[in-house]
Chains A and B, each alone.
Chain A
Amino acid sequence: MRKTSLLILTGALALAACGKKPEEASPTNNLVEPPVENVVVEEPDAPTPAPENNVAEAKPAAPPSVSEQQQMQDDAAATGMTSRLDSGESGQGADETGNSAQ
């Protein structure tokens, strides 16, 4: 029992020490899962660097303004545009290889 307690205490100290090291702050690649021991240690003293996302603001942009008409057209495209092609357009690809039957 005493041995177990000692082991737990040693482990906890080791983990806490791990967490205290400022040079071991979270990696900049925020796709990497944090190591398990970071879950149980105290907050590191040094602030965690912000994820290195050079691409966009961290805050979501305001939703794009889409008119009701445009939304309906987009939805119509999504449900399958069944408007019929002009007879000249239909099967255009099939005609592209030639048109010279005699």
Chain B
Amino acid sequence: MKVNNIRRSLSLPLFLSIATPAMAQTGGVPTVPLIPPAQQAQPSPSTPAPVTPPPVATLPPLPIPPLSTAQDAWLNDWLKSGVAQGLMARAKDSPVLHGEALTRAVLDRAKALSTGRVDTADFLQVWALRPAPFDPRPGLVRAIAEDRLPQWAAGLTPPYSGYDGLRKGLATYEKIRDTGGWPALSVSSKPDVVRARLALEDKSVTGTEPLSEALQRAQRRYGLNPTGLLDARTLAELNVPVDDRIGAIMANMERWRWMPRELPVDRVQVNIAAAVLTVFEGDQPVKSMRAVTGSPDNQTPMLTSNIRSIVINPPWNVPASIAKRELWPKGRAALIRQGYKIVGTPETGERIVQPAGPGSALGRLKFDFDNPFAVYLHDTPARAKFSSYDRLASHGCVRLEKPVPLAELFVAEDPTLSGQIQTLIDTGKTQRVSLPKQVAVYLLYWTAFSSANGTMNFRSDPYGWDKLLASKIEASSRRVEPTTAPAPTIASKD
């Protein structure tokens, strides 16, 4: 990036025209379709009718070659692996299939393993991370012809250690469930009982270490304040039924199937549920920080996009919804006293702007990326929240604990900008800095994940998306098999 790319003195009106929520949609086209066509705005009645495209000839599906006896048997065995891959909670007796029935079941399973079981048309709008379309038939045809079914099957699942950690964790928790689960603890439970309970999930628990240390590890796994005390929140986490933990793992495995199979090696990942951000360079984590993500009433969307620029000393153009709910009720005089500006007229529509400055809700830095939700990463003057263990409190944007080091990382390749972020902030001017190269950003929602040593970590399901996903999978299964009775958890069918 060159210095002349920096707009050193953007006038406020020009800047505001850029900083409105709509801005996010004008800077470019997202790398993936964020909203399926069915959910996009319909043309108004005055819009001319679209020209009907010429009909596209539909090719007949590729014929499946005849299976050898061994291939037939292998595929029937493979269909039994649904439990191991988190597609169902318990194994069920399935009839041995042959011919077209077997082919249909194999294709369904391949699609479920690759892109999940919920049709993207059933996604919430805020689940804007959508799996790419996938047709398993050509791969299956080739695998049969080349007699490489195991290799084909192995390539269907997400190729990431995060998914594989969940798969292994799932096996552990299913074993715990099948051997009777865990006892409910209370504040008066004996230390040995608590220790044994912790050891079910944490293999590093020893009989000689202080119990408080084992409790601290558990609290860190649950995202709680590691006090080492068996307090109410720790008890609540330890008493979550093992079936619920299995359901959480399966929901997260499903979301992994929505991830692209190739990721840029340099990227930013945010876990919305854990309110944590990590920067990866060359596929390795190089920096992480705490974040504040959307409250349950202001959910941060799952999405992927690219950070193209940073706004230094950004003003905050208050979205109409926030203004209506939180600011207009204070009255104009109070708003002006608090430093807000009211722009526009009652006739043309008024909106509220908080000028740039140390008290601006966006702090000193805003990291812009295209998305239809008008969310972004930004600094904040409210630093105290970062020391909290409950950090789902924003209006949907992601507030950053260490925005300046993050900005420095992004401009490090530009000698004219490297090391200059704080200097630019200190000028007090509102400026936009284009990044030397855009950085991919992924806002993800993980409530279950594995540590490097295989121990599972859980977060509460703050948005209720795990349970919602389970119900959508259930509904999807019923559409496929209308005669099947509803089952209680995500895990009942594939």
Contact = CB atoms under 8 A, between A and B. Distances in A.
Do the two shown chains form a genuine complex with each other? yes
Interface string A64-96: 100000011111111111111100011111111
A82 B280 contact: yes
Nearest to A63: B226
B160 A78 contact: no
Contacts of A60: 225, 227-229
B446 interface: yes
A87 B34 CA distance: 30
A85 B70 contact: no
Nearest to B67: A101
Q: Is the interface of B mostly helix, strand, loop or mixed?
A: mixed
A75 B288 CA distance: 6
A101 B157 contact: no
B449 interface: yes
Contact of B147 (A81, A93, A102): A102
Contacts of A76: 278, 280, 285, 288
Interface string A17-41: 0000000000011110000000000
A84 B261 CA distance: 10
A90 B164 CA distance: 8
Nearest to B167: A93
B248 to A, nearest CB: 14
B77 A98 contact: yes
A53 B187 contact: yes
Q: Give the most central of B73, B77, B161: most A CB within 10 Å.
A: B161
A57 B212 contact: yes
B383 interface: no
Contacts of B84: 93, 96
Nearest to B286: A72
A1 interface: no
Contact of A80 (B155, B187, B220, B269): B269
A5 interface: no
Contact of A102 (B70, B160, B220, B263): B70
Contacts of A57: 212, 228-229
A35 B473 CA distance: 45
Interface string B204-219: 0000001111011100
A80 B254 CA distance: 13
Contacts of A90: 154-155, 157, 159, 164
A52 B147 CA distance: 66
Given A61-B227, A81-B165, A93-B157, A29 B274 contact: no
Contacts of B215: 55-56
Nearest to B144: A101
A79 B229 contact: no
Nearest to A64: B216
A54 interface: yes
B74 A101 contact: yes
B97 interface: no
B452 interface: yes
A2 to B, nearest CB: 47
A80 B444 contact: yes
Nearest to B290: A75
Contacts of A4: none
Contact of B190 (A54, A92, A99): A54
A79 B263 CA distance: 14
Interface of A: 28-31, 51-58, 60-61, 63-64, 71-85, 89-102
23 contacts: A52-B188, A53-B188, A53-B230, A60-B229, A61-B213, A64-B216, A72-B278, A73-B452, A74-B220, A76-B288, A77-B449, A77-B450, A78-B449, A79-B274, A80-B160, A80-B269, A84-B161, A91-B155, A94-B153, A96-B81, A96-B84, A97-B80, A101-B147
Interface of B: 68, 70-71, 73-74, 77-78, 80-81, 84-85, 113, 147-150, 153-157, 159-162, 164-165, 167, 186-191, 194, 210-213, 215-217, 220, 225-230, 232, 256, 259, 263, 267, 269-271, 274, 276-278, 280, 283-289, 442, 444, 446, 449-452, 457
Q: Which 5 A-B pairs have the closest CB atoms?
A: A61-B228, A91-B154, A75-B288, A60-B227, A76-B285
